[in-house]
Structure 1
Amino acid sequence: MNDLAPRDAYGVLTEPATLTIQRRLPGPVERVWAYLTESDLRRQWLAEGEMELKLGASFELVWHNDALTTPPGTRPEGFGTEHRMRSTITALDPPRLLSITWGSSGGVTFELEPRGSDVLLTVTHHRLPDRNMMLMVGAGWHMHLDVLVARATGRETEPFWDGWVRLKQEYDRRLPA
């Protein structure tokens, strides 16, 4: 992946069942770390849930994707207004690395690397069980990270669900069958 990691950079398969996606965000690294670990900030772009920053700590993530953008766009059939998932911290090196379990679809690692006054955020989703999950996860991380960039920079982004649907179709074209 390139060092610039533009706002619309697509995730790529770095291994057969591993998707990696990057974004460059305004720093410092502690600010971006807070967006990953503090419930009030994380709920603005991903999911809320108090997280004890301790290796092995269990926590719950709670998504309210309809609240991420105004308007939220048209929620696809089969998605509710709320989603909950239990996770556990599997690796921790504040403020540079956080790895967590991700329900039934493997684990996720967040890596932060200072780049001048910016921070390169690398999200790696491991052990994706099948192509359909890759498409859902690719579109999901892409759209959630677009919302994070918008929050961190004071910009707007497209309605969450409309973007997710568009991106799922794009990942279907980009990822190998």
Structure 2
Amino acid sequence: MTDSSTPDNNGTRIATDTVRFERLLPGPIETVWAWLTESDKRALWLAGGALPGREGEYFQLNFRHASLSPKKAPVPEHLCAMENGVSTTHCLLQFNPPYLLQMSWGENAEEAPSEVTIELKAEGDQVRLILTHCLLSHRVLASVAGGWHAHLAIMTDKFAGVIPPSFWPLYETAEKNYRQRFNESLDTND
């Protein structure tokens, strides 16, 4: 399966503070929705944690990057604080099953939170996942893009029945790629 937006599955910088990814996944749409909203399934590719019952409520995502693949690799030195996992706080902004999930991102970070919107669209027996992450500072854009790239690659592999690579090398390669691509395509100092 390939991403129709770019031949290499890269995310696209669509504004100075926004990156977008598209993936075509096997359907039905309810299955993909479950992988976004059910904690046990989401923990297989991103992070576990129950979603709240209503929009405007806060929740925790529990990232355990080492558990995303049986293949192991060391945590990069500058991210060693994440070695045993990390929990982050988010706010549910929009919830329209099985088409739209929007949440804040980085509620417990030093800067203002950003927003993640995930849209699902049925296309025959497949589902187009469109993930848009906006309100990102230039300082974190490549890192966030690298993280989503790695997490979505793991999700795609798991949907295809393939054992994914270890998260950390995948993330480091993707982050480096986005730093180069974004600095070449749009030079900002925000």
TM-score by length of 1: 0.92
Cross-structure match for 2:85: 82
Identity of aligned residues (%): 32
Given that 2:24 and 2:128 are in contact with CA atoms closer than 8 Å, whether structure 1 keeps it comes out as yes
Given that 1:7 and 1:24 are in contact with CA atoms closer than 8 Å, whether structure 2 keeps it comes out as no
Q: Name stretches of at least 5 consecutive residues in structure 2 with no aligned partner.
A: none
Given that 2:3 and 2:23 are in contact with CA atoms closer than 8 Å, whether structure 1 keeps it comes out as no
Q: Secondary structure at the match of 1:21?
A: strand
Q: Secondary structure at the match of 2:133?
A: strand
Q: Secondary structure at the match of 1:136?
A: helix
Rg comparison, structure with higher value: 2
Cross-structure match for 1:50: 50
- Residue 67 (1) aligns with residue 67 (2): yes
Q: How far apart, in 2, do the equivalents of 1:5 and 1:117 lie? A: 19
Cross-structure match for 2:141: 134
Deviation at 1:58, TM superposition (A): 1.4
Deviation at 1:78, TM superposition (A): 3.0
Q: Secondary structure at the match of 2:128?
A: strand
Cross-structure match for 1:114: 122
After TM superposition, list the pairs within 5 Å mapping 1:1-177 onto structure 2. Answer: 4-5=4-5, 8-79=8-79, 80=82, 81-103=84-106, 104=109, 105-130=113-138, 132-176=139-183, 177=187
Deviation at 1:54, TM superposition (A): 2.0
Q: Name stretches of at least 5 consecutive residues in structure 1 with no aligned partner.
A: none
CA RMSD, Structure 1 to Structure 2 (Å): 1.8
Q: Which amino acid aligns with 2:40?
A: D
Count matched residues.
Answer: 175
Q: Secondary structure at the match of 2:44?
A: coil
